[in-house]
Amino acid sequence: MTSPIEERLAALGVVLPTPTPPVANYVPAVESGGWLWISGQVPMGPNGPEFIGKLGRDVELDSGRAAARLCAINILAQAKAALGDLERIKRVVKLVGFVNSFGDFGDQPKVVNGASDFLVEVLGEHGRHARSAVGVAGLPFNVAVEVEAVLEIA
């Protein structure tokens, strides 16, 4: 039997991937005191990193939003691996989005909306969250976006 969250994912045509293992000395998620802290997720697709380059030079705004959405999909994949059941998510508390930005690119909030909008679409009001959207000079694998999350869990 599938959960309501999994039903919404299926309705959106989203299949959660097998989470990517860490590439350095960290763990992908830490559960502590009713919280799940998920390490930064990049837009990792089935064939490796996707959406390579800087917003404002190599990557268009719509592609940046798609990259952030893929990061959010990977956040849910890590949450499912850590929790076993996405229904344990009570609320997305905070997202921090890092946008690989060129020059005077200033639409980081619009880029990170790709992750925020997706989480609200899947989790409803429980997906609404506090957020930061930060422009950075570079990200791992030269990807366009990285997003980390803090979830309240049951």
CB 67 within 8 A of CB 139: no
What ranges do the domains of the chain cover? 27-153
CA distances from 4 to 7, 85, 105 (A): 5, 11, 38
Q: How confident is the model at residue 1 (pLDDT cuts 50, 70, 90)?
A: low
* pLDDT tens column, 70-113: 999 999 999 999 999 999 999 999 999 999 999 999 999 999 99
pLDDT tier for residue 5 given thresholds of 50, 70 and 90: very high
- Cα separation, 139 vs 128, whole angstroms: 26
CATH class, range 27-153: alpha beta
pLDDT in tens, 114-147: 999 999 999 999 999 999 999 999 999 999 999 9
**What confidence tens digit (pLDDT) does each residue in 50-82 have?**
999 999 999 999 999 999 999 999 999 999 999
Element of type H or E holding 133: strand 130-136
Q: Which residues share a beta bridge with 100? A: 136
Q: What is the pLDDT of residue 20?
A: 83
Distances (CA, A) of 62 to 12, 26, 90, 154: 18, 31, 29, 34
Mean pLDDT along residues 9-30: 94
How far from 104 is each of 99, 101, 124, 142, CA to CA, in Å? 12, 8, 34, 18
Q: Which residues pair with 80 in a beta bridge?
A: none
